[in-house]
Structure 1
């Protein structure tokens, strides 16, 4: 229960961070475009906004909570739970931007939430080791690296939705690997902070996290959220389960339970597609609304 609570709080903090930073950027959008000094001036303006600073603080809190969750629980439980960030983003955003989600968005909410519950209850992830052996890291890390390289190479040969899906999968594998490295880093804390910072894992976490971020930007630039978001959500969850088994000897229930697990995965995918396609998201939802929300019939615009 502690692991679940920490993972959900991490997802909520990250969602609130995204919404607050988006609100600050939208309210205080730079008047000028282009120019070498545009970015520094925009950053200076944001640094004077309490909501942007609060968003940065929540982002750091989210990272701490995720590390804590990975320290006390399994990778295959924590990472799938972080998919609830999609739900929390729209819930918090609907309050901040005063644009409640429409009925189709709520349906996608329910599909994603039920899918996560069905998958996790059926799989029943069990924790294993707190750290992985060097041999396990060489094998699992090598496979993950090859998969990401292959996805990127194939993505460069296609366009549109296929490109977004492939970059999204590459980003998902990278984010799952980053979480596994973070779990390894937290596991080193039992030997003391000095031992942790002298270990290779913190620096690998930062490097792989940067790769994941860059691949995410490529996925978002290649196509719509409807193409990249399901690949990100499902890819992260499933890769985390695989890495948890390969690195930390975590286990999930199989046998007949694989049927509800597949149903849960399908619901997660459907919910992700629904949230990415929601008119609440696609029609200026993340721009601050006027007090009172305008015409009731146009809340989703």
Structure 2
């Protein structure tokens, strides 16, 4: 078994645990209080909620598996496979709420699975560097920083679905960035604890994880899940993959015909992910 196969298996395990954690977090965000609360107040209340901590523990196992997968494979490979977390979340959420998965959902799930397989096999993603220079990260900050600030201001001024979408974009971007930083942190583990503690990516990694979690819960509360869940699910792999290419120098290696197939598969993955997320979110809203 080569390194890419090991990375794929670990990423599938990560997708399963992250899916379970997300299902628990979604329920916690809506059950922790019936009162309208701000983002900070919501996060502090969730920190006192046992169900939320259960979800966080399960998600932590998923993140550990994701980190292990990034130690063997590229961000492009791991992020593509992590999209399948929706395939796990679909039956788990349906089971918890005592309902059946619809034919519509299974159809989009099959399309999603097929597109991921095509991207991984036809795209043949290759690993790049594990870490980037300070100059490269400065350019990323110059681009990503104003975009996040604009989303934050918009979410503050607006309400309802639009606010949920903007917060979802912020959370998805953070988790995409988290994947790239994780690869840098994993790369330093073999150098010992002291060297790891001197690694800037470690502290950025912890900050990004905290912000991603806080904005995720705020997005769940800001509006219906039909606005927040599709946004986060689509933005995370897109941001992670773009940063994998731009920051770490990862590449896709299809032939000329493969590029056409890859483009179609990527479009299907985005559409299927959004359709599944909206379908799951709509069902959740109907149950409330």
Compute the TM-score of the two structures, normalised by the length of structure 2: 0.79
1:14 equivalent to 2:15? Answer no
8 A Cα contact 2:225 2:285, kept in partner: no
**Pair 159,112 (structure 1): closer, same or farther in 2 beyond 3 Å:** farther
Q: CA shift at 1:3, angstroms?
A: 0.8
Instruction: Determine the structure 1 residue equivalent to 2:275.
Output: 274
- Per-residue Cα deviation, 1:37-74 (whole angstroms, up to 9, x for no partner): xx69974xx48xxxx87655432211211111111111
1:259 equivalent to 2:260? Answer yes
When Rg is computed on C-alpha atoms for both structures, the one with the higher figure is 1
More off after superposition, 112-121 vs 83-92: 112-121
- Which runs of 5 or more residues in structure 2 are unaligned? none
**Separation of aligned partners in 1, 2:170 and 2:34:** 35
- Per-residue Cα deviation, 1:212-269 (whole angstroms, up to 9, x for no partner): 2233234333333333333322221121121112222111247554433332233223
Compute the TM-score of the two structures, normalised by the length of structure 1: 0.76
Equivalences for residues 1-301 of structure 1 within 5 A: 1-19=5-23, 43=49, 46=50, 55-156=55-156, 158-253=158-253, 256-275=257-276, 276-278=278-280, 280-284=283-287
**Pair 142,187 (structure 1): closer, same or farther in 2 beyond 3 Å:** farther
8 A Cα contact 2:169 2:231, kept in partner: yes
Q: CA shift at 1:118, angstroms?
A: 3.1
- Which runs of 5 or more residues in structure 1 are unaligned? 286-301
Q: CA shift at 1:139, angstroms?
A: 2.1
**Separation of aligned partners in 1, 2:166 and 2:111:** 24
**Pair 106,54 (structure 1): closer, same or farther in 2 beyond 3 Å:** same
**Pair 16,165 (structure 1): closer, same or farther in 2 beyond 3 Å:** closer
What is the root-mean-square deviation of aligned Cα atoms in Å?
Answer: 3.4
More off after superposition, 202-211 vs 276-285: 276-285
8 A Cα contact 2:173 2:239, kept in partner: yes
**Pair 273,129 (structure 1): closer, same or farther in 2 beyond 3 Å:** closer
**Separation of aligned partners in 2, 1:156 and 1:53:** 27
